[in-house]
Structure 1
Amino acid sequence: MDRERADMETALGRTVMVVPTYNEADNLAWIIARLRTAEPEVDVMIVDDSSPDGTGEIADELAAADPRIQVVHRTEKAGLGAAYLHGFRVALEQGYDVIGEMDADGSHQPEQLYRLRSALLDADLVIGSRYVSGGSIVNWPLFRRMLSAFGNLYVRLLLGISVRDSTAGYRLFRRTTLEKIDLTSVNVTGYVFQTDLAWRTLQSGLVVREVPIEFIERVRGQSKMSRSVAVESLQRITWWGLKQRATRVRGALRSVRR
């Protein structure tokens, strides 16, 4: 390990990447090998939702061969947010200082994790962003690009936040961030979970930084994004935005009456 990486390890403390899986048998060993090569000092926690394709068994084999890999087996497929919350709770109990997220399908390149880790030195949450300068998307169809861009613009306008890629799932949290934003009150399970946690972090007065990444569409397996997931995200964000505006209006009215 070079001096710069050693200093970063000392400053950040123990780090674990939480990798949720459901039917990722074709991708898991490949992406975990890349992660362990790119960041050998970072631990890995695979959270499998009882995948019927044997992903859980592959995860167990990887863990048996590498002490820095562990597997959390869940009994049902309850959504991305539920899997991450479970993994976060386990990681906090195990005393990790930095807890990260990344997909198992190859969309998030482990070789770029160093950018996120460096940025966390002066932040509370770091997001690997497709929509800041230097960020990009590879192999997405035009409709998917437009849907994602519109969704992130909608979040910025409705919630009044500056994060350009609040739906991104390549992230690093300090343990103090997760402790402060009260994970016990998070009740979303789909992809809107990402927006929820970014918003909670900002509302808590913490620092969120975005660093550019190259996001690559999966080449094997099926995407877990569906129409119902997109609808849930839109409904939740709309409700949060309207609730926030109603709170501001009530506060302004109380000020006028005084």
Structure 2
Amino acid sequence: MKDAVVIIPTYNEIENIEAIIRAVFSESRAIHILVVDDSSPDGTSEKVEELQTEYLGRLFLKRREEKKGLGTAYILGFKWSLVRSYSYIFEMDADFSHNPKDLQKLYNACAIDGADVSIGSRYITGVNVVNWPMSRVLMSYLASKYVRLITGMNIQDTTAGFVCYKRHVLETLDLTKIKFIGYAFQIEMKFKAYIKKFRIVEIPVIFTDRTRGKSKLSSGIISEAVFGVISMKMKSLFKREK
């Protein structure tokens, strides 16, 4: 996986961070990792700093002063990556819900098969989710259906957070205008790429809920996604009319 970097946002992931870093690096000697940590009080960033001595020139850390949300963490990571020479830029969770072994599939979809954006999709071949209660499976699945209905995107897993972007996609999108900070950020990024007519493909993966640490999902994040999608679509229609 040449010229590739995996961005991993963290907040209180001390139970997972060393294992996920080692697992990603075990998949490729060429891949790099950027951890964006929101000053986790549990020592996550200190553990990353410790591992940097072992993975010199491959493991990087950006520590923010406070918890600012998933979306802004990725935007910081994208901008950091774009001033460097990376051609393929990944989003990935720290909690092993995304299997590091699937990184190669997403990379191949872009580097070999010509996609601009590849998505590790839970729903492209049915429902591939492990360890979630049925209520959360239904909420996530119906949320993606809802987003498809409102936006018109032909993407089964619109809220997926396991994604590979080709460099030119992020260079084309105006990252300063990405507004959402929670899970709606994932929808907004896909929608912006869709509007720009980039080639987006979904690669089937199995999503496994975290076994260590606490979920960051909250009612505010859900509300942002539900109501933000309508606002996002309306703004896009207004721009077209103008």
Normalising by structure 2, we get a TM-score of: 0.95
Q: Which of 190, 198, 207 is 2:190 aligned to?
A: 198
Tell me the SS of whatever aligns to 2:164: strand
Contact 2:180 2:224 in 1 (8 A): no
Contact 1:167 1:192 in 2 (8 A): yes
Whether 2:151 is the aligned partner of 1:162: answer no
Identity of aligned residues (%): 38
Equivalent residue number for residue 173 of structure 2:
181
Tell me the SS of whatever aligns to 1:65: coil
- Alpha-carbon deviations, 1:185-222, whole Å to 9, x = none? 11211111111010100111110011000100000110
Whether 2:46 is the aligned partner of 1:54: answer no
Larger radius of gyration: 1
Equivalent residue number for residue 206 of structure 2:
214
Query: Which structure 1 segments of 5+ residues have no match?
Result: 1-8, 252-258
Q: How many residue pairs end up in the alignment?
A: 239
Contact 2:188 2:232 in 1 (8 A): no
Tell me the SS of whatever aligns to 1:45: strand
Contact 1:163 1:210 in 2 (8 A): yes
Q: Distance in 2 between matches of 1:142 and 1:134?
A: 14
Equivalent residue number for residue 91 of structure 1:
81
Equivalent residue number for residue 110 of structure 1:
100
Match runs of 1:247-258 below 5 Å: none
Q: Distance in 2 between matches of 1:243 and 1:172?
A: 26
Equivalent residue number for residue 223 of structure 2:
231
Equivalent residue number for residue 136 of structure 2:
144
Equivalent residue number for residue 255 of structure 1:
none
Equivalent residue number for residue 3 of structure 1:
none
Q: Which moved more, 1:34-43 or 1:193-202?
A: 34-43
Match runs of 1:6-155 below 5 Å: 9=1, 13-67=2-56, 68-121=58-111, 122-133=114-125, 136-155=128-147
- Alpha-carbon deviations, 1:97-139, whole Å to 9, x = none? 1111100011000011111011113111110000012761100
Contact 2:161 2:186 in 1 (8 A): yes
Normalising by structure 1, we get a TM-score of: 0.89
Contact 1:134 1:213 in 2 (8 A): no
Q: Distance in 2 between matches of 1:134 and 1:233?
A: 23
- TM superposition shift of 1:95: 2.1
AA of the residue aligned to 2:211: V
Please provide the CA RMSD for this pair. 1.5
Contact 1:159 1:244 in 2 (8 A): no
Tell me the SS of whatever aligns to 1:112: helix
Contact 1:15 1:100 in 2 (8 A): yes
* Shift >4 Å, 4+ stretches: 244-248
